[in-house]
Amino acid sequence: MTNPFLTKPNYIRIYGHRGARGDIVENSISGFRYTFDLGIRAVEFDVVISKDDIPVLFHDYRLNPDLVKDASGNWITDKNMKLVDLTYEEISKYNIESIKPDTKYAKRFKNQQSAKDERIPTLKDFFKLVTEDKYKDVFLNLEIKSTPTQENVTPDPEKMVSLILKDIKEFNLEDRTLITSYDFRILYALKKQNPNVLRGFITLQQGLSITKKNIYENSPWMVKNYPLEELSNDIDICVKTLCNQIPSNLDMVIHLIRNKKIKFNTDYFRMSQDKKVGIYISVVN
């Protein structure tokens, strides 16, 4: 990986998390365009797979009633509509232009503006945007949504990786993309299929009092079949810190980290030194 955005040392990298969901609906083309036009040169976004094997941008395995309207403009009520059970033609009929009022999500993002008639985009739709001339310097953090704890919410990891790599290759975006996942199976499949694409393992920061010293022990996410040493030395371990544990002001976050008011599980850092694995800390809204 030679992209200077990722390799520049001693540098705070500002990503648009799911675009700019504080201002415009998450994982939407309008939201990403807005983010890039603000001058943000990197974004994180989420990818799942439709019934007809089309990668689409959505954070959840199921359509979210707080975000999604049906073709008639009514908020959906079914909480179990899995995207993997819907063709993209069916998915494209749903509207994601705004947040449902009076929900917990709406209270969290009070200033979010609507994006008229916004639809759930395909990965190709997004790649068409980021290959426009004025956005060709944007770095892409693609999170593949996969879980070992639920059945039948995604295709198998090998298939997911194959479908996504196909789109990445079509748009010649291998050197601008970091593929991340909480699921080690995804990273293992990625290494086998294309070891030249940068891989990132995401983990969630937790208090040491509730976390076992051995972070691999009995975890379905970090199974022993996929040991870290087999994933080579070009993985970033992303330590995510929950938004309700820290203030949203970036200056205050930096101050608290420097003064050790925000503490991180040092197991991750020791492991990274042993395995020569890079770490970046992700603070999300």
Q: What's the confidence (pLDDT) of residue 199?
A: 87
Amino acid sitting at position 174:
E
Given a cut of 50, is residue 201 above it in pLDDT? yes
pTM: 0.83
Indicate the DSSP class of residue 278: E
Query: Can you tell me the distance from the alpha carbon of 109 to that of 243, in angstroms, rounded to the nearest whole number?
Result: 13
Mean per-residue pLDDT for 72-101?
97
C-beta of residue 26 within 8 angstroms of C-beta of residue 59: yes
Q: What's the confidence (pLDDT) of residue 245?
A: 41
Amino acid sitting at position 164:
I
pLDDT tens profile 21-68: 989 999 999 999 999 999 999 999 999 999 999 999 999 999 999 999
pLDDT tens profile 102-117: 999 999 999 999 999 9
Query: Can you tell me the distance from the alpha carbon of 191 to that of 269, in angstroms, rounded to the nearest whole number?
Result: 23
Q: Work out whether strand 139-144 and strand 55-57 pair parallel, antiparallel, or are unpaired.
A: unpaired
Q: Which residue has the higher pLDDT, 162 or 211?
A: 162
Given a cut of 60, is residue 130 above it in pLDDT? yes
Q: What is the dihedral of CA 281, 283, 284, 285, to 10 degrees?
A: 180
Query: Can you tell me the distance from the alpha carbon of 249 to that of 246, in angstroms, rounded to the nearest whole number?
Result: 9
Report which of 88, 78, 98, 162 is spatially closest to residue 125, judged by C-alpha positions: 88
Query: Can you tell me the distance from the alpha carbon of 54 to that of 124, in angstroms, rounded to the nearest whole number?
Result: 9
Given a cut of 90, is residue 101 above it in pLDDT? yes
- Structural tokens at position 4: 């200077």
Fold (CATH) for 4-283? TIM Barrel (3.20.20)
User: Distance from first CA to last CA of the chain, Å, rounded?
Assistant: 27
Q: What's the confidence (pLDDT) of residue 244?
A: 40
Q: What's the confidence (pLDDT) of residue 247?
A: 42
| Angle between helical axes of 157-170 and 184-193 (0-180°, round to 10) | 50
- Give me the residue spans of the domains in the chain: 4-283
Query: Can you tell me the distance from the alpha carbon of 94 to that of 73, in angstroms, rounded to the nearest whole number?
Result: 8
Q: Which residue has the higher pLDDT, 201 or 38?
A: 38
pLDDT tens profile 223-275: 555 555 555 544 555 544 444 444 445 555 555 555 555 555 556 556 655 65
Q: H/E element holding 170?
A: helix 157-170
Number of H helices, E strands in the chain: 9, 8
Q: Which residue has the higher pLDDT, 98 or 14?
A: 98
Phi, psi (rounded to 5 degrees) for 35:
-60, -45
Query: Can you tell me the distance from the alpha carbon of 94 to that of 72, in angstroms, rounded to the nearest whole number?
Result: 9
pLDDT tens profile 162-200: 999 999 999 999 999 999 998 888 988 998 999 889 888
Query: Can you tell me the distance from the alpha carbon of 144 to that of 156, in angstroms, rounded to the nearest whole number?
Result: 12
